[in-house]
Amino acid sequence: MSEQTAPAAAQDWRDRVLTDPDMILDDRDVMRALIAANERQMGQNIVDLRGIAMDRLEARLDRLEDTHRSVIAAAYENLAGTNQIHRCVLRLLDCAALPELLDLMAEDLADILRVDRIRLVLESAAPGEAPHESVAPVAAGFCHDYVTQGRNLPARQVTLRQCDAASAAVFGEAADFIRSEALLRLEMGDGRMPGLLVLGAEDPHQFRANQGTELLTFFTGVFERVLRRHLG
């Protein structure tokens, strides 16, 4: 820039700032540079309380922005989860018979929920061969013990947890690869032993104990009713 154009540029910049001061006030980097220049002129022996207050307000603003982003991300995640459950419910209601329901679990339902395995665990006084790849027949009392891991605790309707290796009685050969699971307790009706719908994932972070269970609780209620209808 030549010596002749420098004063003109400075005057143009001055006029723009006087006309629209928000141009400076809304620019955080420019304001920070101006405050730093002001502090250098004041010297090191003067405490600028306004500068300290502004730093604190700026820090609070940053925290609020981070919180705002986290809330928006959580809202989108919750909306995506709601859409997943709605799609599952509609597919369940379309099943006309039990074999169709079992096929759905092994195929579309696992894809919609983004899990690697789904197993329907059914207790029996004399468990035999599995009638379908999605069914795991087990002995009486297995479901409660599996959910509580042998501890004297009430079995919740939905239990989310991570695992080093899942039960082979539930997942068969795939048990070595399952690192987290969702256990959905099913009441099969009068005269029938309880059951479990187990969702297994290879991702150890997909199901964790600190996650919310409202959507899966709703899904459990729907699946329970559909299964009872097909069992007669």
Tokens of 79: 């909306």
Of 88 and 7, more confident: 88
Residue 21 lies in a domain: yes
Instruction: Round to whole Å and give the CA distance between 102 and 119.
Output: 9
Residues in the chain, total: 232
Of 148 and 7, more confident: 148
Which of 155, 222, 231, 147 has its CA nearest to residue 188? 231
85, HSE (Cβ side, Cα atoms, 13 Å): 17
Tokens of 128: 């035999």
Tokens of 23: 């141009």
Alpha helices in 43-179 (DSSP H): 49-94, 98-104, 110-113, 142-148, 168-171
Read off the pLDDT band of 185 (50, 70, 90): very high
Instruction: Round to whole Å and give the CA distance between 167 and 175.
Output: 6
Any idea what DSSP says for residue 124? Answer: E
For CA atoms 225, 120, 107, 208, give the dihedral sign. Answer: positive
Look up the domain containing 25 and give its range: 5-46
Same domain for 128 and 166: yes
Long-range contacts of 27-32 (CB under 8 A, 24+ apart): 28/58
Query: pTM higher than 0.85, yes or no?
Result: no
Residue 59 lies in a domain: no
Position 41 scores a pLDDT of 63
Which of 160, 172, 165 has its CA nearest to residue 202? 165
Per the structure, the count of domains in the chain is 2
Position 155 scores a pLDDT of 67
78, 83, 89, 92: CA torsion to nearest 10? -130
Same domain for 41 and 80: no
- Cα angle vertex 69, ends 208, 65, to 5°? 130
Residue 65 lies in a domain: no
Alpha helices in 20-48 (DSSP H): 22-25, 28-42
Mean pLDDT of 196-204: 94
Determine which helix (DSSP H) or strand (DSSP E) holds 139, and give its type and residue range: strand 135-139
Position 5 scores a pLDDT of 65
Residue 78 lies in a domain: yes
Read off the pLDDT band of 4 (50, 70, 90): low
Read off the pLDDT band of 181 (50, 70, 90): very high
3-state secondary structure of 120: strand
Of 50 and 72, more confident: 72
Residue 149 lies in a domain: yes
Q: What is the CATH number of the domain that holds 192?
A: 3.30.450.40
Same domain for 118 and 38: no
Give the phi and the psi of residue 111 in degrees, each rounded to 5: -70, -40
Same domain for 41 and 88: no
Same domain for 31 and 116: no
Same domain for 189 and 137: yes
Residue 55 lies in a domain: no
